[in-house]
């Protein structure tokens, strides 16, 4: 047993750290640290920067342009990015559709799509969920009917993250109705500019526009954009859902938020004219989350090292990491709102725009905190709800 990173890993961390310090634009990291809104260009700028360095897709094999890092190196990279206030690399292209294309796509698809994902030329979004098909994804109804060289797609997807910016969407659509529901699903790549696609915003509980409905009305999709075999899309979907494990726990982001919570608790007034951090009751709660985060961090590292050593592919661990990671993110966001007391009450959405110069309310750092707490409720719902994750552990791991 040795809990220390190797010398090589430490050197790697320093290299990553130095690179990010030099390359991440200050106005972008200020937005991330300050909880301000990020626009399409903020994400893309960082994406392109990392792409030039060859680091935008840490999990990709080298043959497709990945850096060839170990799982532990990827974790170190994630942490350094989060700590520096880098926008997250959106998972839909790099971590979701790309591995599916690598595994199931044909040569033409690999050649066309992978470099564009890497460079950031195409922004991808995920078209899985439907109003009637969430946890029970296989009950999806969006239909794709083959007509000559095209599929004609009709239906509705929903809860589509950042689809308002997307160039492409990967869609699960029903191509057959016989047999088990899982058996008639196909995995399609769809250009968002195709006639018949309508994107409608859904306002979230924090007032922000982050998710959308996507409607398909007689949308013509070339058969060349089918990934894998017709009616075998469920295999792709399952592969995708189980694929990307590094980062699922969100340890890096949690560490950054913990640091922010402590900073706020040092600045906020507590009782008796002393800073809040001196209130033992509140400090105990910070300590509790930090301990929970430590448990998560080392669990995550144990899983990653096992993976690196080529021991069995992790199964239930991914679910465990997702459940605990989201619980900790939620606890952190809750404590931050709590830290600012009554300054969690004002709703001043203008203050979330970087460069806004109006008169703020309370401390600058207070403005995004309530919205952030409300917004973080999503984390236990999306990506396979935490109830579904527990079902997976119960069934696959515990044999119940």
Partner 1 sequence: MDFNLTPEQGMLQDSLRKFLSKEYGFESRRARAASPEGFSRETWAQLAELGLLGIAIPEDDGGLGGDAFDTMVVMEALGRALVVEPYVSTVVLGGGTLAAAGSASQKEAWLPAIVGGEKLMAFAHGEPRSRYALAHVETTAKRDGTGWKLDGKKAVVRDAPSADAILVSARTAGGAQDEGGISLFLVDAKAKGVSMRGYATQDGGRAAEVSLSGVAVGADSLVGAADGAFPILERTVDRGIAALCAEALGIIDALNEATLEYLKTRQQFGQPIGRFQALQHRMVDMTIRAVETRSMAIVAAAGANHPDQAQRRRMVSAAKAHIGQGARYVGQQAVQLHGGIGVTDELIVSHWFKRLAILNATFGDAEHHLGLFSDRLLGEKA
Ligand X SMILES: Cc1cc2nc3c(=O)[nH]c(=O)nc-3n(C[C@H](O)[C@H](O)[C@H](O)COP(=O)(O)OP(=O)(O)OC[C@H]3O[C@@H](n4cnc5c(N)ncnc54)[C@H](O)[C@@H]3O)c2cc1C
Residue 25 interacts with which of ligand X, partner 1, none, CB < 5 to 8 Å by class: none
Minimum distance, C-beta of residue 344 to partner 1, in the bound complex (Å): 5
**249 to 14, 77, 82: CA distances (angstroms):** 23, 14, 13
Give the range of 120-128, 227-235, 262-270, 345-353 binding ligand X by CB under 6 A. Answer: 120-128
Size of the site for partner 1 (CB under 8 A): 53
* Rounded Cα–Cα distance for residues 297 and 276 (Å): 27
Q: Which candidate in 9, 121, 208, 244 is catalytic?
A: 244
Q: Is 244 a catalytic residue?
A: yes
Minimum distance, C-beta of residue 139 to ligand X, in the bound complex (Å): 10
H/E stretch holding 185: strand 185-191
Minimum distance, C-beta of residue 380 to partner 1, in the bound complex (Å): 6
Minimum distance, C-beta of residue 90 to ligand X, in the bound complex (Å): 10
- 153 touches 221 (CB < 8 A): yes
Neighbours of 137 (CB within 10 A): 20
388 near ligand X, rule: CB under 6 A:
yes
For the chain, state the CA radius of gyration.
Answer: 22
Sign of CA dihedral 330, 335, 340, 341: positive
211 near ligand X, rule: CB under 6 A:
yes
385 near ligand X, rule: CB under 6 A:
yes
212 near ligand X, rule: CB under 6 A:
no
* Rounded Cα–Cα distance for residues 198 and 262 (Å): 44
66 near partner 1, rule: CB under 8 A:
no
* Rounded Cα–Cα distance for residues 374 and 349 (Å): 14
Residue 189 backbone phi and psi in degrees, to 5: -105, 125
* Rounded Cα–Cα distance for residues 388 and 136 (Å): 10
Identify which of 185, 169, 166, 188 has the alpha carbon closest to the alpha carbon of residue 177: 185
Neighbours of 297 (CB within 10 A): 18
387 near ligand X, rule: CB under 6 A:
yes
128 near ligand X, rule: CB under 6 A:
yes
27 near partner 1, rule: CB under 8 A:
no
Could you say which DSSP state residue 354 is in?
T
Residue 359 interacts with which of ligand X, partner 1, none, CB < 5 to 8 Å by class: partner 1
Residue 169 backbone phi and psi in degrees, to 5: -135, 135
**58 to 11, 260, 283: CA distances (angstroms):** 17, 26, 36
Give the range of 16-24, 68-76, 268-276, 297-305 binding partner 1 by CB under 8 A. Answer: 268-276
378 near ligand X, rule: CB under 6 A:
yes
382 near ligand X, rule: CB under 6 A:
yes
Residue 126 interacts with which of partner 1, ligand X, none, CB < 5 to 8 Å by class: ligand X
Residue 161 interacts with which of partner 1, ligand X, none, CB < 5 to 8 Å by class: ligand X
Q: Which of 159, 165, 168, 216 binds partner 1 (CB under 8 A)?
A: 159
Give the range of 62-70, 148-156, 232-240, 387-395 binding ligand X by CB under 6 A. Answer: 387-395
311 in helix, strand or coil?
coil
Q: Which two tokens stand for residue 47?
A: 């994406």
State the residues that interact with partner 1 by CB under 8 A: 129, 132, 134-136, 139, 158-159, 202-205, 207, 211, 268-273, 276, 281-282, 285, 334, 337-338, 341-348, 359, 361-362, 370-371, 373-375, 377-378, 380-382, 385-387, 390-391
**Residues with catalytic annotation?**
244
């Amino acid at each position: 047993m040795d809990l220390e990173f190797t010398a090589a890993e430490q050197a790697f961390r320093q290299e990553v750290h130095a690179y990010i310090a030099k390359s991440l634009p200050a106005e972008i990291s200020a937005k991330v640290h300050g909880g301000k809104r990020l626009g399409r260009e903020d994400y893309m700028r960082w994406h392109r920067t990392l792409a030039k360095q060859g680091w935008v897709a840490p999990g990709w094999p080298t043959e497709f342009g990945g850096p060839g890092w170990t799982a532990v190196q990827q974790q170190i990279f994630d942490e350094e990015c989060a700590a520096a206030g880098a926008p997250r690399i959106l998972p839909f292209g790099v971590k979701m559709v790309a591995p599916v294309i690598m595994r199931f796509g044909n040569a033409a698809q690999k050649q066309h799509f992978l470099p564009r994902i890497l460079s950031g030329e195409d922004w991808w979004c995920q078209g899985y969920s439907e109003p009637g098909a969430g946890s029970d994804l296989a009950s999806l109804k969006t239909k794709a009917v083959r007509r000559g060289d095209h599929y004609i797609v009709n239906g509705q997807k929903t809860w589509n993250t950042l689809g308002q910016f997307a160039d492409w969407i990967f869609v699960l659509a029903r191509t057959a109705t016989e047999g088990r529901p899982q058996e008639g699903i196909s995995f399609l790549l769809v250009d968002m500019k195709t006639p018949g696609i309508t994107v409608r915003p859904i306002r979230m509980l924090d007032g922000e526009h982050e998710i959308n409905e996507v409607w398909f009305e007689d949308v013509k999709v070339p058969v060349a954009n089918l990934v894998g075999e017709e009616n075998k899309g469920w295999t792709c979907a399952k592969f995708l859902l189980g694929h990307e494990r590094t980062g699922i726990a969100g340890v890096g982001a949690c560490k950054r938020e913990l640091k922010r919570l402590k900073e706020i608790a040092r600045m906020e007034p507590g009782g008796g004219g002393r800073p809040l951090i001196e209130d033992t009751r509140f400090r105990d709660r910070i300590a509790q989350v930090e301990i929970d985060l430590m448990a998560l961090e080392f669990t995550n590292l144990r899983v990653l090292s096992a993976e690196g050593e080529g021991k069995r592919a992790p199964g239930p661990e991914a679910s465990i990491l997702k459940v605990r990671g989201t619980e900790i993110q939620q606890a952190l966001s809750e404590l931050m709102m709590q830290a600012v007391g009554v300054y969690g009450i004002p709703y001043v959405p203008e203050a979330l725009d970087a460069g806004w110069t109006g008169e703020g309310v309370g401390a600058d750092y207070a403005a995004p905190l309530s919205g952030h707490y409300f917004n973080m409720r999503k984390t236990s719902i999306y990506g396979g709800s935490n109830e579904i994750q527990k079902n997976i552990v119960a069934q696959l791991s515990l044999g119940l």
